[in-house]
């Protein structure tokens, strides 16, 4: 499929590399098109351009910019993202590992509202190094079944396993869980220790 990636940083590289290898047509969009072109060259993507160029390209589009700029980026795309499958991997996490969404709608819901796209929250809960090397199960939150099916395919294409995690109204839980996990990891604790499998679940 055609995949547009908005952003040319770590997440763009981590996921874009897998998707190029899986045979997808990937284009990288950046606010500095020379940086986008450099990433496209490095991972073997078919091309690069401005954010606006790439917003209108994908059967699926990955939004891989900081949450603080995400709403401006999708608004700047005008109608180009309307109705498209938009994967939101942003983490609205600020000082103290608290959410910058301040108890209001989730980042994913705000991005959906600002873009008119069919947003699926995914790939936000692990670091880019994990996506590069050992992709785990990937919780997906979204309201559009066709969009979810597209993203399930893209999860399997990176070697992960999709987990259906409910509608977009649950994306805020995933964002908060991730903020909590990041806080634990970065304070030297291992959050995997708090999630034993209940005997009745196996
Ligand atoms: N890295 C991780 O481990 C990880 C894991 C899960 C989720 N995420 C989320 O994924 C998203 C991308 O993270 P990343 O690690 O890939 O970040 P990154 O390496 O810092 O790259 C950020 C990208 O966003 C662009 N950007 C920054 N400010 C912008 C603005 N005002 N307008 C337009 N573009 C802007 C940057 O452009 P320039 O290159 O021109 O500066 C760059 O292409 C974030 O929302 C982050 O929370 C990250």
> End-to-end distance of the chain based on CA atoms, in angstroms?
36
For 160-180, the DSSP string reads -EEEE---GGGHHHHHHHHHH
160 lines ligand 1 (CB under 6 A): no
115 lines ligand 1 (CB under 6 A): no
Coil/strand/helix, residue 130? helix
User: Residue 65 CA to chain centroid, in angstroms?
Assistant: 9
Q: pLDDT for 125-141, tens place per residue?
A: 999 999 999 999 999 99
* Percent share of the chain, pLDDT over 90: 96
Domains of the chain: 2-191 (3.40.50.720)
State in Å: Cα 197 to ligand 1 middle.
Answer: 34
32 lines ligand 1 (CB under 6 A): yes
Give the pLDDT of residue 8.
98
Order the strands of the 2-6 sheet from edge to edge: 47-50, 25-30, 2-6, 60-63, 85-88, 118-121, 137-142, 161-164
Q: pLDDT for 4-50, tens place per residue?
A: 999 999 999 999 999 999 999 999 999 999 999 999 999 999 999 99
Report strand pairing: 25-30 vs 2-6.
parallel
Helical packing angle, 145-157 and 10-21, nearest 10°: 80
| Enclosing H/E stretch for 15 | helix 10-21
- Top mutation candidate among 11, 40, 87, 176 for ligand 1, by most atoms within 8 Å of CB: 11
Q: Higher pLDDT residue, 123 or 197? A: 123
64 lines ligand 1 (CB under 6 A): yes
8 lines ligand 1 (CB under 6 A): yes
Mean per-residue pLDDT of the chain: 97
**Average pLDDT of 166-185?**
98
**Average pLDDT of 178-196?**
95
Could you give the CA distance from residue 134 to residue 63 in angstroms, rounded to a whole number?
A: 21
Report strand pairing: 60-63 vs 98-99.
unpaired
State in Å: Cα 200 to ligand 1 middle.
Answer: 40
Give me 107's structure tokens: 């980042």
**Average pLDDT of 115-131?**
98
**Average pLDDT of 90-96?**
98
Give the pLDDT of residue 202.
63
What are the phi and psi torsion angles at 184 (to 5°)? -65, -50
State in Å: Cα 7 to ligand 1 middle.
Answer: 6
User: Residue 84 CA to chain centroid, in angstroms?
Assistant: 14
**Confidence band for 164, pLDDT divided at 50, 70 and 90:** very high
65 lines ligand 1 (CB under 6 A): yes
């Amino acid at each position: 499929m055609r995949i547009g990636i908005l952003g040319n940083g770590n997440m763009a590289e981590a996921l874009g590399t897998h998707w190029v290898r899986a045979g997808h047509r990937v284009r990288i969009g950046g606010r500095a098109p020379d940086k986008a072109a450099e990433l496209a060259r490095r991972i073997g993507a078919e091309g690069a351009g401005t954010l606006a160029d790439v917003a209108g390209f994908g059967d699926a589009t990955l939004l891989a910019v900081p949450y603080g700029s995400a709403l401006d980026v999708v608004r700047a795309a005008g109608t180009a993202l309307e109705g498209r499958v938009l994967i939101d991997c942003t983490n609205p996490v600020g000082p103290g590992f608290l959410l910058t969404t301040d108890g209001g709608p989730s980042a994913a819901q705000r991005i959906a509202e600002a873009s008119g796209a069919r947003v699926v929250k995914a790939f936000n809960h692990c670091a880019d190094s994990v996506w590069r090397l050992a992709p785990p199960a990937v919780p997906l939150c979204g309201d559009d079944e066709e969009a979810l099916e597209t993203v399930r395919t893209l999860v399997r294409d990176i070697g992960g396993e999709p987990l259906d995690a409910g509608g977009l109204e649950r994306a805020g839980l995933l964002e908060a869980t991730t903020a909590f996990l990041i806080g634990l990891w970065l304070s030297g604790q291992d959050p995997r220790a708090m999630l034993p499998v209940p005997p009745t679940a196996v």
